[in-house]
Structure formats: C-alpha cells, structure tokens
Amino acid sequence: MTAATFVLVPFVLLFVGFPIYLILFITALIALSFILGGSPTIVQTTIFGSLDSFPLLAIPFFIFAGEIMGRGGIAKRIIVWVISIVGGVRGSLALTTIASSELFGAMSGSAVGTVAAVGRLLLPALRENGYDERFAVSLIAASGAIAVVIPPSIPLIIYGVVAQQPVTVLFLAGILPAIMIGLVDAVYVLWYARKTGVPTTARQRISDILKSTRDASWALGTPVVIFGGIYGGIFTPTEAAGVAVVYAFAVSMFIYKDIGWPELWKITLSSAQLIAQIMIIVSAAGLYSWTLTTSGIPQQVVALVTGAHIGLYGTLVIFNLVLLFVGSFLEPPAAILVLTPVFLPVVMALGMSPIHFGIVVAVNLSVGMYMPPFGLNLFASHSLFGAPLSSIYRGVVPFLIINLIALIIITYVPGISLLLPAHLH
C-alpha cells in the first residue's frame, strides 16, 4: 500500500495533466494523512526547511547571471571567439555549438538557458552554412544539456544539498565527464560534416583570433572569476553565484553596453519567473522526499537490492534505466529530489562513492533532457526555433546513442569522475 501510494498516485496525476509540483505535493499529503498519520504542522515545517539551505541560494543567482549573459553581449562574444579558433575545419560551426554550450553551461548552470542563448546566435549560421535543419536543432538541444553536468550545474547543487555532499567537490567531479561528453559529440559532428559535405568555413587569421580574444576577454573572465574564486578559497559556490551576477551585470551594462535599465528589468522578471518555478518544485519535492524517507521505503529498497545479490554493476544498470526514464519527463531538480533519497543509500551500501553517483545521476538526467518524447530541451527547441517535434525526435537519435555510450563509461569507470577531486581538493 505504501509503495503503491508513492508510485501509482504520481503516475495517475501525471497522466491527468497535473503540474509536477502539485503531483509531489498531493502525493505527500495523501501519504501523510492516510499512511504516516503525521501532524499537519509538518507540512509547512518541511516545505520551509527544504528551502532553508545556504547552498540553494546559488540557484537564483546563477539563473539571473545566466539570463544577463545570454541576453547581453557575453554569450555572443564567446561564440565569436570559438568560431575564430576552429574556423577552417569542416564542421567548425557544429564544433562551435558544442564548445559554446560547454562554455556557456560553465557560466550559467542552466540547460534550457544554454539552448536559448547558443541556439539564438548559432542556428541561423548553421542553416546558412548548409547544415540540415533537423541536425542543427537537434545538435543545439543535445549540446545544451551539458549544463546539467558541467559546473556550476544547478542539478549538482541540488544533489549536494539532498545527499549532504560538498558542492565544490561535485563541481570538480563534473569537469572531466562534461569534457568527455563534448569530445564524443565533437567526433560525431566532424564525421557528419565530412559525410554530408558541409562547406568549410573560412580559416581565420592570427589577427582575427587576437581581435576576437581581445573583444571576448571580459566575457571569458566569467568562468575565471567563478572557479578561480571557489577553488582559490576566496568564496563559496553560493557567494560565487552572487559575484557572477555582479560581474555579468557590470560587463554587459558598463563595458559592452549591450543592455540598459529597461532590458535589465525584463531580464529580472524572466529570471524571477524561472526561479519561482524551480523553487516551488524544490519545496514540494522536499515534502515528498521527507514522507518517502519517513515511510521506510529507502530502507526496504536497500534490503531488497542487497538481498537480490545482483551487485553494484547490476544495480547501476537498473538505476540508470530508471533515471533515464524519469529524466525524460521530469526536470532534473525534481528527479534528483525524488530519487536521491531512495537510490543513494543503496549504492553507498554497495560501496559506491556518493560523489561518483552524483555525476552518474547528472549524466543520466542530461541525456533525459533530450530523450523523446518528453525531454525538456526538445520542447524548448521546438518553442524557440519552430522546428517540428517529430523532426527533432529523429534528429537527436545519434546524439542519444553516442551519449548513452559515454554514460556507460562514466558509470563504470569511477576514475573519470573522481580523478580531479582526489588530486585537487
């Protein structure tokens, strides 16, 4: 009865069309009223307790900074800089899309924000350079998901809070897997460009590279400020997020002068709307997770898995499949808040590092963001660029295949995730 409540009720409500925060909230209330028998005061205490976390303050700051960078001149100058370096290579614009997504993801932490910022600037160029519309939009949707893994990833911040793991270590752990995903995508797009005969862009001269580097110097300073401050011991990730807002604001308004006060007000409103959407999910999922943990289901799952004697590798196969499925229709923050309390005790009992598991979770959910039929990046790309969903579904298949291979490697080779934390922390 208990397990059925936590599994069947959400699926029924999702099928009916309830928003995810209401699904989690209603399920938790049903469990609290009819199974746990707790006091109603637990609801507000748990909801506010879910939000009363210093690391969570990084989320609104990084979202706001990402919006400023995307609409100001920072994202544009970074893309021009990347093009100047890889120009002359067949497939250079596709490579630019991947590299720009990695760089912008490393500044904003938002997958949808990365899709919007990089896509608006590069999709017209990809079309003009001979790339098929399906490939171009699918490339942007898949590349944007890297922001789930590369620091300062918002899902990694949430995982750190839920799993009680240091966010700074999780950020370090996400660097090499994110680079690896970018590299396998790059190999595929180079092969695609050669196979389809995409025209080669003009090779840039040294003077062009120097000029674009000079123009982008303030933009490129953003990740230096964020990560230099964090790992230089100057400030925490939350403080770094606040510094990123001030830096992005100062550079966009006073140095590049690409935005004014009216634009800043619009950016503030859109950021506040997105922040509210995330935080209401966090609060509802906090109540759901509390009732789930109190019900004893995580302990039952640990006993069930360890009693099945399938070992860590077999367990990870099952968990990866569940994470991919859930990640294909739930936003990463909600998926992490719901599944981490159940899965983490199991893998830790089997000897897996919680830092490594956090990266495995993030990579699964990043793939889920462009997995048909409900991946969030698919709908974002459809809405932003007007491409038919059926076309995007077919276009992302190659990216799904190669990134699932990368996921398997990251899952079963923990050294990829744990190398930097072991040597640099």
Separation in Å, CA 88 to CA 109, 140, 198, 204, 273? 30, 21, 12, 7, 41
Residue 177 is predicted with a pLDDT of 97
Residue 12 is predicted with a pLDDT of 84
115-119, long-range: CB < 8 A, 24+ apart: 115/140, 115/141, 115/144, 115/377, 115/380, 115/381, 115/384, 116/70, 116/380, 116/384, 117/66, 117/69, 117/70, 117/71, 117/75, 118/75, 118/79, 118/143, 118/144, 119/144, 119/381, 119/384, 119/385
Is pLDDT above 90 for 269?
Answer: yes
Q: How high does pLDDT run on average in the chain?
A: 87
The answer to whether residues 136 and 127 touch, using CB atoms and an 8 Å cutoff, is yes
Residue 185 is predicted with a pLDDT of 96
Task: Give the residue from 132, 212, 59 showing the smallest Cα distance to 387.
Answer: 132
Helix (H, G, I), strand (E, B) or coil at 1: coil
User: What is the band of 97 on the pLDDT scale with cuts at 50, 70, 90?
Assistant: very high
CA–CA–CA angle 398, 81, 72 (5° rounding):
95
DSSP 116-173: HHHHHHHHHHHHHTT--HHHHHHHHHHHHGGGGTSSS-HHHHHHHHHHT--HHHHHHH
Least confident of 40-44, 248-252, 333-337, 415-419: 40-44
φ and ψ of 89, to 5 deg: -95, 135
Residue 338 is predicted with a pLDDT of 85
Residue 409 is predicted with a pLDDT of 97
Rounded Cα–Cα distance for residues 213 and 372 (Å): 38
The answer to whether residues 218 and 248 touch, using CB atoms and an 8 Å cutoff, is no
> Mean pLDDT over residues 137-164, rounded?
92
User: What is the band of 3 on the pLDDT scale with cuts at 50, 70, 90?
Assistant: low
The answer to whether residues 393 and 139 touch, using CB atoms and an 8 Å cutoff, is no
Is pLDDT above 70 for 226?
Answer: yes
Residue 330 is predicted with a pLDDT of 79
Is pLDDT above 90 for 35?
Answer: no
Helix (H, G, I), strand (E, B) or coil at 353: coil
User: What is the band of 303 on the pLDDT scale with cuts at 50, 70, 90?
Assistant: confident
> Mean pLDDT over residues 284-302, rounded?
81
The one-letter amino acid code at 152 reads P
Residue 383 is predicted with a pLDDT of 82
Q: Which one has a higher pLDDT value, 398 or 107?
A: 398
Residue bearing tokens 């997995």: 371
Residue 142 is predicted with a pLDDT of 94
Helix (H, G, I), strand (E, B) or coil at 257: coil
Rounded Cα–Cα distance for residues 326 and 333 (Å): 11
Residue bearing tokens 């879910």: 50
246-250, long-range: CB < 8 A, 24+ apart: 247/65, 247/221, 247/222, 248/65, 248/68, 248/69, 248/72, 248/74, 248/222, 249/68
Q: What is the pTM of this model?
A: 0.89
The answer to whether residues 144 and 118 touch, using CB atoms and an 8 Å cutoff, is yes
Task: Give the residue from 168, 159, 279, 183 showing the smallest Cα distance to 226.
Answer: 168
User: What is the band of 205 on the pLDDT scale with cuts at 50, 70, 90?
Assistant: confident
Is pLDDT above 90 for 192?
Answer: yes
SS3 content of the chain, % helix, strand, coil (to 5): 80, 0, 20
CB atoms within 10 A of CB 128: 10
The one-letter amino acid code at 90 reads R
DSSP 56-80: GGHHHHHHHHHHHHHHSSHHHHHHH
Is pLDDT above 90 for 249?
Answer: yes
Rounded Cα–Cα distance for residues 358 and 344 (Å): 9
CB atoms within 10 A of CB 27: 25
DSSP 383-424: HHH---HHHHHHHTHHHHHHHHHHHHHHHH-THHHHHHHHHH
Residue 104 is predicted with a pLDDT of 87
DSSP 295-314: TTHHHHHHHHHHHHT-HHHH
Q: Which one has a higher pLDDT value, 298 or 59?
A: 59
> Mean pLDDT over residues 76-95, rounded?
84
